[in-house]
Amino acid sequence: MCGRYGFVPGTNFDERFQIEHRQEPLLPSYNVAPGATMPVVVRNSPNRVEMMAWGLIPFWANDPKMRYKTINARAETVATTPAFREAFKRRRCLVPATGFYEWQNTAHGKIPYFIHLKDTELFAFAGLYDVWKDGAGQELRTYTIITTTPNELVQPIHNRMPVILHSEDEDRWIDPAPQDPASLHALLTPFPAELMAAYTVTRAVNSPANDAAELLTPVEY
């Protein structure tokens, strides 16, 4: 699963994701945890940033608490799982990130790693979103991150990894027009290991209450 990631917008966020007319500032978060409200990118002539909560609540759900069980969607079943299948057809999004955390089981306990791309600081996970309404008609927008099998870099650390989209595939992923499911599934593959790097970081990242740039400092165990 992907249960924690980092997001630092930098100065080129709008250009990177072809955003126009964004007014609200985007703040960095070095330890994004489920339930957090974060920026996602959707296609709405042109691309638009929307703030959504991490943990997808399907529009038909009776209990919004289910979102803590839907922070991730498996690529292998995303088109058929009831919680995700409608969003997979119509509500795909980009989840901007600068890296993600995974924990490796060792004889000395779980060791956290920060995993990122070598040549770019800002990239996008493949995501889905939905709009849920409470009894009073108030809307809550939520998202999930799609995961897949790990590549050679991540496999020794964890048995799943988030789907990182190649930048040239992002437009196709968020295009709301009907698309062949097979062509979408073809995008949900492990990112090439040779383009990624990983290093160990402080166990302070274990607590979502800790959110500072120091979490990204390499630590030896």
Q: What is the pLDDT of residue 137?
A: 78
Q: What is the pLDDT of residue 149?
A: 98
Q: Which long-range contacts (CB under 8 A, 24 or more apart) does 175-183 make?
A: 175/43, 175/92, 176/43, 176/90, 176/91, 176/92, 178/89, 181/79, 181/88, 181/89
Q: With a cut of 70, list the residues of the chain below it in pLDDT.
A: 44-45
d(CA 41, CA 49): 5
Domain boundaries, the chain: 5-216
Please give the structure tokens belonging to residue 110.
Answer: 């779980």
Quick: pLDDT tens for 124-165: 999 999 999 887 778 899 999 999 999 999 999 999 999 999
Q: What is the pLDDT of residue 71?
A: 96
d(CA 94, CA 143): 10
For 177, residues 6+ apart whose C-beta sits below 8 A from its C-beta are none
d(CA 96, CA 41): 8
Q: What is the pLDDT of residue 176?
A: 85
Query: What pTM was computed for the model?
Result: 0.96
Spatial CA neighbour of 57 closest among 120, 142, 114: 142
Q: What is the pLDDT of residue 51?
A: 95
Q: What is the pLDDT of residue 108?
A: 84
Active site residues: 2, 102
What's the CATH class of domain 5-216?
A: alpha beta
Please give the structure tokens belonging to residue 27.
Answer: 């703040």
